[in-house]
Amino acid sequence: MTAPRATNQTRKRPAPKVRENLPAPQTPEGQLFHYTPYEAAQWTPFSGRTLTNMIARREIGYVFNGRDNYLTGAQIVALAERQTVKPFDKPATSAA
């Protein structure tokens, strides 16, 4: 008697589509443009899947249009600034 054969039942999903010629989030036209998490990933330190998970856990602000989740350019800039480490400023020495 042999063991039943394992079958791969996982469904492969197609790669998410990323539009071309997107405006940069820092530009005036990009501030209110809606980016998918996979499109926004190129301007953040996170992958598209990580951004999708952060949206699902409500860790970051996003736009919901009734079907899909989007990030505006302003939200992308704020997220990138929040993750940026500022250089340390030495305290001013006082003259004694």
Under 8 Å CB-to-CB from 50, ≥6 apart: which residues? 41
Query: What is the per-residue pLDDT across 15-56, written as a single tens digit (0 to 9) for each?
Result: 888 889 999 999 999 999 999 999 999 999 999 999 999 999
Question: Residue 55 carries which DSSP code?
Answer: H
Using CB atoms within 10 A of its CB, is residue 37 exposed (0-12), middle (13-18) or buried (19+)?
A: buried
- Band of residue 62 on the pLDDT scale cut at 50, 70, 90: very high
Q: Where are the domains of the chain?
A: 28-83
Q: What is the predicted pLDDT for the residue at 17?
A: 84
Using CB atoms within 10 A of its CB, is residue 9 exposed (0-12), middle (13-18) or buried (19+)?
A: exposed
- Residues 68-89 have a mean pLDDT of 91
- Band of residue 95 on the pLDDT scale cut at 50, 70, 90: low
Q: What is the predicted pLDDT for the residue at 6?
A: 67
Q: What is the predicted pLDDT for the residue at 96?
A: 58
